[in-house]
Chain A
Amino acid sequence: MQYEAVIGLEVHAQLSTNTKIFCRCSTNFGSEPNSQTCPVCLGLPGSLPVLNKKAVEFAIKTGLALNSRIASYTRFARKNYFYPDLPKNYQISQYELPICEGGYIEISVDEKPKRINLTRIHLEEDAGKNIHDAKNPFSLVDLNRTGVPLMEIVSEPDIRTPQEASEYMKKLRTILRYIEVCDGNMEQGSLRCDANVSVRPVGQKEFGVKVELKNMNSFKYVEKALEYEIKRQIEILQDGGKIIQETRLFDANSSRTYSMRSKEEAHDYRYFPDPDLVPVIINDEMIQEIMSGLPELPDKKISRFITDYNLTNYDAEILASDKYLAGWFEEVVRCGVNPKTAANWIINELLKFLNEDDKTISDTPIKPQQLANLIRMIEKGVISGKIAKTVFHEMYQTGNEPDAIVTQKGLVQISDTETIQKTIDEILAANPKEVERYKNGETKLLGFFAGQVMKVTKGKANPQMVNEILKKRLS
């Protein structure tokens, strides 16, 4: 029997506000444990939460970017459970009346667009961190993260494969980074993902028994965890077994999932409206204002790059995958160089270097104007494309101007016919045997001669001229 998976994702995105969602503490990552706390986020008796307006704006912004309906009236609820990293032993979250409902994200599956619908987006506070050390008979608690604003984005069970799930995550991350509400750093935990997975025979309408997967902190792990879990479930069904509704943890070392708790052990969160917070009223004016501040979103940018700059879909997607990269590219284009050439340099050279160094576009010392200058130097024949790559590498390392590098290193292309002819003649004279073989029809030796010329001129000879003159001399 053929089975298909049914997957829904719950993504937690840490909002990049400066302060926490219900107090004025900093949201900085990696500070001294418990240094960024106050009576409110420590949950001291008598302290009260006050909603961070920025967090509301960020959620609305996200809702608008993801085509959701923005609630005109939204409120917070308490999710009650005991855990030492949760100082109040309840999390302020949203239950009924979340800030956004509906919406979708479009991904491409086999080059065809597929819409993944969203159920809701809601705001909540993050919990702290328990630090367990096998050496100690106790655990430590760091509450710096407590109260950092989180946005939970819940998808409908529209995802069918691990690849779709990963595409969805990537697309979501790109959008969140575009609208600057979340830095999307999965390793640091600013973007986290839980999945609800079930399998069913192809053609069956009803969903199978679902399993909740947790602890997948990279795109790769999302795929791996889902692959393992889907396989596990199908094998159970094929053996005539039954899936147990439970929560399972992904273990990256073994690439397997392990049972964490069964449905019977599941918490009764006893949600109820938080009486410490007043309902939030969102008016059209506020929505309009946020809407007008939205940047061009990735999909729109990709199609514009294809039409305006004649880029391939592939190139456009890469360049539009990051708002700053796209902006950098357009800066280069604005300097008047060919967009396709600019795209090639960015994708094949710049991104290669950045990826190798595990850096992003904002880390490059090269300015868009400088790349444009380099491209123009090739177009004008001042340097060859090959030399240009050397120059580019130097630019990447030093941030120096391309013409300065070319002058300093004496890399100007030799396009002087006489000089080239002289060099060629010397080389032909020094290699009579090869000249003989060439004349006897071994024309691929042209490359050998050209290579010798380049060697002597340290790669500076204009390659086209070298080829032309060589052919003339050898004929």
Chain B
Amino acid sequence: MDIARLNINELRLLLDKKEVSVKEVSEYYLDRIDKLNPRLCAYLITTNSNAEKMIDKAQKRIDNKQSLNLTGIPLAIKDNICTEGILTTCASRILYNFIPPYESTATKRLLEQDYILLGKTNLDEFAMGSSTENSAFCVTKNPWDLETVPGGSSGGSAAAVAADMCVAALGSDTGGSIRQPASFCGVVGLKPTYGRVSRYGLVAFASSLDQIGPITKCVKDSAIILKTISGNDASDSTSAPVSVPDYEDSLGRDIKGIRVGIPKEYFIDGMDKEVEKVIKDAINHLISLGAEPIEISLPHTEYAVATYYIIATSEASSNLARFDGVKYGFRRHGKDLMDMYLKTRSEGFGAEVKRRIMLGTYALSSGYYDAYYKKAQEVRTLLKTDFEKAFKNVDLILTPTSPTVAFKIGEKSNNPLQMYLSDIFTISINLAGLPAISIPCGFAHDMPVGLQIIGRYFEEPLILQVAYAYEQSTNWHQKRPILD
């Protein structure tokens, strides 16, 4: 038996039947992390010392036959999600020593089931990036090819899942940060509807776009984790007062007659031909399972990237203002207050973060607000309307997750615009606040390709149903990189 390959339910069964103990499973994963992390840098820290307590609690719950879905299941958490008493750095120098005195709502809900926290995973600093190269600490490698990026910003979580360094992980998605790395690493990544999962304790990048979600080895694991972390939260005004369905219920249902929209704007000229072929094959496969394809148009798609980089950076410029060296984190002393601010922030933030703070500050400046921020909000409304219109005729929308497979480390780091374009298919979904999943659907240039399935607000069950149907009739999700 290879523990590494197990999904949540398989491991659940073994734990509950006492064929393995929580301690054995956890130690197995921690050993594997020790072995692989020096090469992959998926984790920033592991939580060996904290793990012991969690292991005991989980084992007790299992011994008392009170285990829940995630009791004793070892997970990884992206390092921009606050974990009480455990370093949370956002992969930024400015928070290199920040230990939150409180727990995020999402991880609190995992803790209530006594999950095992293996460690905190690497990301682009403050989740700003598409390659995890912007981490202040290390560059995460794609387990499929150590010379390529794992995608980003949840690159550490995606790489950890792909390399079997955890059962599953939490990521966060502001413009594609769960789905794009999931696609690059050949795993499942789900961005829930905005408001589905509480943002309390997620260090904000762009508040109106950020959403926590699962990165898993299979669709069912995403359903299980989503069920656990979802739901209204009194600590987050933007969390939706919408009841949480059992996301496992729709899995296995027939997908005959489900109308899937294929947006013509998402099959663009610059797209990698091999990727395009893989995606078209995937769509054809779904059609063969009974899905009804309908060509649709999302006419404002071309404005999505520009809109996103105004709204996201504007919000970020304000969200990141609190990191000033006064209260916590990195501080560089100066000759006066202003000097301290300037030195702290100049040295504490990396280049990409500073670039975005400057962009956002500019977009919100008096005299420019109307031309940039306000205009971007108007376009955002148009993008939403595009989707609302489309969803009158279709139940789901199918697109590639990214126009390319994972690129080489360093290939785009000097060309921010090129880098920004790798999120071209995922960004609109955040602007509209819709849910979407990326599932493995084949390989191009020997690297994984992800199919994106977009649904209506709070219709994660339908997304999961179709994703599951695809997954169960293919074997892409069982492919693993060779690392040993």
Contact = CB atoms under 8 A, between A and B. Distances in A.
Interface in B65-81: 81
Contact of A48 (B88, B200, B337, B341): B200
Interface string B177-214: 00000000000000000000001111110111000000
A123 B223 CA distance: 41
- Dominant secondary structure at the B interface: loop
A276 B318 contact: no
B313 to A, nearest CB: 12
A268 B82 contact: no
A275 B326 contact: no
A48 B237 contact: yes
B236 A48 contact: yes
Interface in B309-326: 314-315, 317-318, 321-324, 326
Query: Which of B95, B208, B235, B326 has the largest number of chain A CB atoms within 10 A?
Result: B326
Contacts of B104: 46
B203 A45 contact: yes
A277 B318 CA distance: 14
Nearest to A81: B321
Nearest to A277: B237
Contacts of A44: 100-102, 328
A48 B321 CA distance: 15
Contacts of B100: 39, 44-46
B366 A45 contact: no
Contacts of B82: 45-46
Contacts of B365: 268, 270
Contact of A82 (B90, B234, B237, B341): B341
A51 B364 contact: no
Interface in A76-123: 78, 80, 82, 84, 87-90
A78 B318 contact: yes
Contacts of B341: 82
B326 A270 contact: no
B98 A80 contact: no
Given A42-B327, A46-B200, A270-B365, A88 B208 contact: no
A166 B185 CA distance: 69
Nearest to B340: A84
A48 B199 contact: yes
A272 B314 contact: yes
Contacts of B207: 275-276
Contact of B90 (A45, A51, A78, A141): A45
B46 interface: no
Given A78-B318, A275-B315, A270 B202 contact: no
Contacts of B98: 45
B373 interface: yes
A404 interface: no
Contacts of A270: 317-318, 361, 364-366, 369
A275 B321 contact: no
A50 interface: yes
A272 B364 contact: yes
B79 to A, nearest CB: 12
B238 interface: yes
A47 interface: yes
A50 B238 contact: no
A291 interface: no
Nearest to B103: A46
A39 B90 contact: no
Contact of A47 (B200, B206, B321): B200
A208 interface: no
Contacts of B327: 42-43, 87
Contacts of B203: 45-46
A82 B200 contact: no
A49 interface: yes
B204 A46 contact: yes
Given A46-B100, A47-B200, A272-B369, A84 B237 contact: no
B204 A82 contact: no
A270 B367 CA distance: 10
Nearest to A278: B237
Task: Using C-beta atoms within 8 Å of the partner chain, give the interface range for chain A.
Answer: 20 to 34
A90 B364 CA distance: 13
Contact of A275 (B95, B208, B366, B369): B208
Contacts of B361: 270
Contacts of B315: 272, 275
A428 to B, nearest CB: 86
Nearest to A83: B337
B234 A141 contact: no
Query: Which of B98, B206, B237, B238 has the largest number of chain A CB atoms within 10 A?
Result: B237
Contact of A39 (B88, B102, B323, B373): B102
A469 B12 CA distance: 110
Nearest to B203: A45
B251 to A, nearest CB: 32
A50 B105 CA distance: 14
Interface in A251-305: 268, 270-272, 275-278
Contacts of B206: 275
B300 to A, nearest CB: 21
A87 B322 contact: yes
A49 B237 contact: yes
Contacts of A275: 206-208, 238, 315
A96 B161 CA distance: 45
A427 B323 CA distance: 90
Contact of A50 (B235, B337, B373): B235
A84 B321 contact: no
Interface string B20-38: 0000000000000000000
Contacts of A47: 102, 200-201
B375 to A, nearest CB: 13
B237 A80 contact: no
A82 B321 contact: yes
Contact of A43 (B95, B199, B322): B322
A89 B322 contact: yes
Interface string B213-253: 00000000000000000000011111000000000000000
A467 B433 CA distance: 93
B92 to A, nearest CB: 10
Interface string A41-83: 0111111111100000000000000000000000000101010
Contacts of B317: 80, 270
Contacts of A268: 365-366
Interface of B: 81-82, 88, 90, 95, 98, 100-102, 104, 199-204, 206-208, 234-238, 314-315, 317-318, 321-324, 326-328, 337, 341, 361, 364-366, 369, 373
20 contacts: A43-B322, A44-B101, A44-B102, A44-B328, A45-B98, A45-B204, A46-B100, A46-B204, A48-B199, A48-B237, A50-B235, A50-B237, A88-B321, A268-B365, A268-B366, A270-B361, A271-B364, A272-B364, A272-B373, A276-B237
Given A84-B326, A270-B361, A275-B207, 14 more contacts: A44-B101, A48-B199, A48-B200, A48-B235, A48-B236, A49-B237, A50-B235, A50-B237, A78-B318, A87-B326, A89-B321, A271-B364, A275-B315, A278-B237
**Considering the complex of A and B, which 4 residue pairs feature the smallest CB-CB distances, nearest first?**
A89-B321, A275-B208, A275-B207, A270-B364
Interface of A: 39, 42-51, 78, 80, 82, 84, 87-90, 141, 268, 270-272, 275-278
